[in-house]
Amino acid sequence: MAKPRIAYVIFDMDGLLIDSERVYTDVTNDILAKYGKEMTWDIKAGLMGKPEREAAAHLLSFFPDLPAAFTPDVYLAQRNALQDARWPSVRPLPGAVRLVRHLHAHGVPLALATGSTRHGFVQKSAHLPALFGCFGAHVVCADDGLVRPGRGKPHPDVFLAAAEHLGYAVGQGEEAEARVGEEARAVRGRGLVFEDAVPGLQAGKRAGMNVVWVPDANLLALGTEPAGLEQPDQTLKSLEEFVPEEWGLPPYDVEHAIES
């Protein structure tokens, strides 16, 4: 089936544009090692894309014999302190800089929609202006007040907020809801979302947008596949594999390719 011609593009951040998932894993396992525990990839797969505190509670539910004082809030305080020390060295993932800068250079409207807090976003992005400078002010974080508590991914709200931030009238509600008008559906259908996590993929599809899924190889090794009606429109091993012209976007200039 022919792909729609895309008008705007929305990116997730963690695990898609930057190698932050490695930091999450290393820091969490450093904390859990004190208690003889480990976050394996089958546990981590269920955390990816979830709001911060929800993910923390889900993680600790796998270890019911941890001390009662080791609450999700205590874990998050320890984790965030350790992560903040590592964010300034986190690197972009292959193909991320090239793709984002290419789209930006060709005037394609871009937004970032992340489950990270604003503080987390600043910590992860400040040393990577060549990448994150392309988004300008079009960044939606979990605590910006644009997404109601409890409405993080897999709900579509963050992607709808990002599209509205770009000036597109996408309305409110999930694609399947009757209150979403035909004009709003058409505008949503011209959006392209890039995601690495299953909840993010689900959120993009529930927003009525097209989704390119770029899952971590460890996730695929577990045999993890999106369940239900929300299936990706394209699955890639890396952003390096993305071919812009397949989506009606400007093709890469081979002679002047922007390095990733």
> So which residues are the catalytic ones?
12, 14
In Å, how far are 37, 68, 69, 225 from 65, measured between CA atoms? 10, 8, 11, 30
Task: Tell whether the torsion through CA atoms of 211, 215, 220 and 226 is positive or negative.
Answer: negative
CA–CA distance, 199 with 197 (Å, rounded to integer): 6
Helix (H) or strand (E) holding 60: helix 52-60
Both structure tokens of 64: 């019911």
* Single-letter residue type at 131: L
Strands across the sheet containing 8-11: 139-140, 110-113, 8-11, 191-195, 210-213, 234-235
Q: Are 196 and 16 in contact (CB under 8 A)?
A: yes
φ/ψ of 31, rounded to 5, equals -70, -45
Q: Are 139 and 164 in contact (CB under 8 A)?
A: no
φ/ψ of 135, rounded to 5, equals -90, -15
Question: At 96, is the secondary structure helix, strand, or coil?
Answer: helix
Q: Are 242 and 99 in contact (CB under 8 A)?
A: yes
CA–CA distance, 55 with 197 (Å, rounded to integer): 13
